[in-house]
Amino acid sequence: MLSCSKYYYLMSINYLKRISKLLGIGLFISFSLFEINTVNNQIKAEKKLVAASEKDLFLYRQMGASYLCIASKADVDFNKGLGIASATFANVITGKHGGAIKELGNEKLDQKKLYNAGTFQIVGSALDICPESIPKNIKNDYEKRLKQLVKGSKK
């Protein structure tokens, strides 16, 4: 017959074996998931970025304009809403397309240029979607800049 101390000693050994098995399984799963994540990151890193097409730009521009219209109607400060929409436009093109736009060939635009281009394009689209939400001075600035661009492209 086992004494109480030997019994508890054997029970604690069994208990420790179970815990070590659980920890071992947990570590194995953790390392396995880490390996899978590492492989996924390598695949993503090796993925070749494709320049944004006109269709992509249209989608991003319309999303920005939609956001701007909704934000304006929700009494969000217009400049803040436009800034967020423009930053999102620039971030998506940078993140998904590496700043490349198909129409520009191999040239990649930096965040500032994409932000400025996004601002102009988003305001133009928002004027079509929700003209009542665009402040008069923004509308006038847009129309003035558009005339300059049209005049410059005819030369």
Calpha distance 101→135 (Å, rounded):
30
Phi/psi of residue 92, nearest 5 degrees:
-65, -45
Element (H, E) at 82: helix 78-97
| Confidence at 16, pLDDT banded by 50, 70, 90 | low
Domain ranges of the chain: 1-47, 54-154
Q: Minimal CA–CA distance to 127: which of 39, 68, 52, 54?
A: 68
pLDDT band at 152 (very low <50, low <70, confident <90, very high): confident
Q: Under 8 Å CB-to-CB from 136, ≥6 apart: which residues?
A: none
Residue 32 pLDDT more than 60?
Answer: no
Q: pTM higher than 0.75, yes or no?
A: no
| CA distance linking residue 114 with residue 89, whole number of Å | 7
pLDDT at 46 over 70: no
Cβ contact 99:139 at 8 Å: no
**In the predicted structure, residue 130 carries a pLDDT above the cut 50:** yes
Check pLDDT > 70 for residue 22.
Answer: no
**Is the model more confident about 41 or about 90?**
90
Residue 45 burial (C-beta neighbours within 10 Å; 0-12, 13-18, 19+): exposed
* Of 89 and 29, the one with more pLDDT: 89
